Amino acid sequence: MTGPVDVPAKLDEIVGLIEGARAMPMSASCMVNRVELLNQLEELRAMLPAEMSQARRLLRDRDQLVEEGRQDADRIIAAARDERARLIAKTEVVAEAALEAERLVGDAEDAAVQMRAEVEDYVDKKLANFEIVLNKTLAAVERGRSKLAGQHELSRLQENPDEPELPH
């Protein structure tokens, strides 16, 4: 399988194969090439794990980015605390050192919060795109099933035009 995974396109191919199948006379059934249809379905089955794998990869990447952000933030905070301790150790500017160290810690914490927000925003956008792909796939499946159900009902009505339609 080469190129990007395109589950909706594969579903469209399968629906087209069924729609183009030769109808059986006096029946809602049709003849499809079993091998061809099974091959198409196997290809679709092979694509779905790729879609799920991509989602898991995005989640893993998000978790890794968040963890790296936490580690960076922890290092920044530790460095700020070390700097604060060093500045306090100098006796001439104890008051100024304490204020500067607090500012550094505050800046580091602000930077960590901002970094986390950016990472979560990035991952949220990726997950939203993946959700759109999955929704389109689901819609294609529903359309295919609806078409199949509609063809079955139309064929039944064509076979028995005088028969009243029964409620479902």
DSSP per-residue letters across 60-75: HHHHHHHHHHHHHHHH
Q: Rounded to two decimals, what is the model's pTM? A: 0.34
Mapped onto helix, strand or coil, the DSSP state of residue 93 is coil
Mapped onto helix, strand or coil, the DSSP state of residue 163 is coil
pLDDT, one tens digit per residue, over 44-92 is 888 777 677 787 888 888 888 888 888 988 999 999 988 878 777 776 6
| Phi-psi group of 3: left, alpha or beta (phi > 0 → left; psi -120 to 50 → alpha; rest → beta) | left
Can you give the pLDDT at residue 1? Answer: 43
Q: Contact 116/69 with Cβ under 8 angstroms?
A: yes
pLDDT, one tens digit per residue, over 84-140 is 787 777 766 667 777 888 999 999 999 999 999 999 999 999 999 999 999 999 999
Identify the weakest region by mean pLDDT among 4-13, 17-26, 97-106. Answer: 4-13
As a whole number, mean pLDDT of residues 27-54 equals 82
Q: Contact 62/117 with Cβ under 8 angstroms?
A: no
